Structure formats: C-alpha cells, structure tokens
Chain A
Amino acid sequence: ETGVTQTPRHLVMGMTNKKSLKCEQHLGHNAMYWYKQSAKKPLELMFVYNFKEQTENNSVPSRFSPECPNSSHLFLHLHTLQPEDSALYLCASSQEMASGADQETQYFGPGTRLLVL
C-alpha cells in the first residue's frame, strides 16, 4: 500500500451520466495530482493542486472538473463523457519543496478503470 487510496476501482458509465472519482492520501503531503493513462500513450497530467490551490490544468475538457476540499482529498467530477475518455485514472500525491530544492517522488493510488459506453 502506498498510502493513497482511490474509489471506485472500476466504473462503467453512459455518456449522459454524472459520476465522481475520489482520492485520499494518508501521507501528509501538500500536493495532489490527477493523471490519465490510456493504452499506447504516456501518462497525461490533468490537474495539479498545491496546498489546495489548483496550479495546473493541462487543457483538460470542461467535462472533467476537479475539486480539492482539503490537502488530503481530491475529487474528479465527470459529466457527459465521451467513449475516448475511457482510461485508467490515477491519483498521486507528493510533498512539494521550495523552488530549487530537491524534489520528492510521487506516490500513486491504484487507479480507477473507467469505461464510457
């Protein structure tokens, strides 16, 4: 166990549904991330939160909406998804240092396997 949990582990949804993915970290970290992993593609960083503030949004479609209510929890709200959004969605956390200092590694959850029909 890495100290990062994700629920649900598997999700099947229709294109008109609304669902949410949940991530929780028990490591006391100050940064959390959402990644998308699709077959034959490198991991794609979707969103980054540092100290609960969103610091990065990599041109992700608005049908994906992140929420970070506190430094331990991260959500990804999904609505009107497309079949090409089917993928493994990974959450990660890390302890971010001051700029210029050595960077720590990221700890990943097990992922949510999403299938959009």
Chain B
Amino acid sequence: KQEVTQIPAALSVPEGENLVLNCSFTDSAIYNLQWFRQDPGKGLTSLLLIQSSQREQTSGRLNASLDKSSGRSTLYIAASQPGDSATYLCAVGSNAGNNRKLIWGLGTSLAVNP
C-alpha cells in the first residue's frame, strides 16, 4: 500500500531564504508525482508535475526533483517571499489495481516572515 510522508510538517523562515521541502513514498511504482499549493480556506493549485520518466521540473523559483529508486522528491524554493506562505502538498500517482489514483501527503505548512 502506497504511503506518502512529508517532512517537515511545519516550517517558518525569514524572507529571502532558500528552502527545501521533502516528500517520501513507499512504493516506487508510480506514474507521476505532483506538488500542489493550498492557501488557507481555498482549493489546491498545481505547482509542478513530474512524470515517472523525468528527474526534475522547474517553474520560476520552484524546482522539484524525483528519485523513484529511493522513493523521494524535494521541492526547492529559491529566495522565499511572504507570498509563498501556504501549505504545500505532495501527491504520488499510483496504480491501484486497474485504476490510477493520487495518494496524498499531509503537507508542509510554510510561513515566510517579512
């Protein structure tokens, strides 16, 4: 059974710092991995999607890596800003029988202080 763990659960940093959020999964047979952002009381916004054949994806100040063999992904945020404050969720695309589904972590709550 696929399980997704995100560390740390919460993180508070001063503005301008570079930071890394971690996601680990127990079954390496995945078809993709995604990072989402959730602002308080709102839905989720997709940040980056890494297909199983890829090693990383970049968008602006965000870079996500994927190492299937070790069951790990990292989300790197460069030069953090107060607007980056949100909960970041990792979701792993897993094959469950004949169906494909996303298995979610609990998220990392990030606070970037001015």
Instruction: Give A contacts to B, CB under 8 Å.
Output: 2, 4, 6, 40-43, 45, 48, 55-56, 90, 92, 102-111, 113
Q: Given contacts A40-B106, A45-B102, is CB(A110)–CB(B32) below 8 Å?
A: no
Q: Given contacts A41-B106, A55-B99, A110-B42, is CB(A105)–CB(B89) below 8 Å?
A: no
Q: Given contacts A43-B104, A102-B51, is CB(A108)–CB(B32) below 8 Å?
A: no
Q: Given contacts A56-B99, A105-B49, A108-B44, is CB(A42)–CB(B32) below 8 Å?
A: no
Give CA–CA (A19, B81) in the complex, Å.
41
Give CA–CA (A27, B41) in the complex, Å.
23
Chain B: number of interface residues, binned into ranges: 20 to 34
Instruction: Give B contacts to A, CB under 8 Å.
Output: 4, 31-32, 34, 36, 41-46, 49, 51, 89, 91, 93, 99-106
Interchain Cβ contacts under 8 Å between A and B, 25 examples: A4-B43, A40-B106, A41-B106, A42-B103, A42-B105, A42-B106, A43-B102, A43-B104, A45-B101, A48-B99, A48-B101, A90-B43, A92-B44, A102-B32, A103-B32, A103-B51, A103-B100, A105-B34, A107-B46, A108-B36, A108-B43, A108-B44, A108-B45, A111-B42, A111-B43
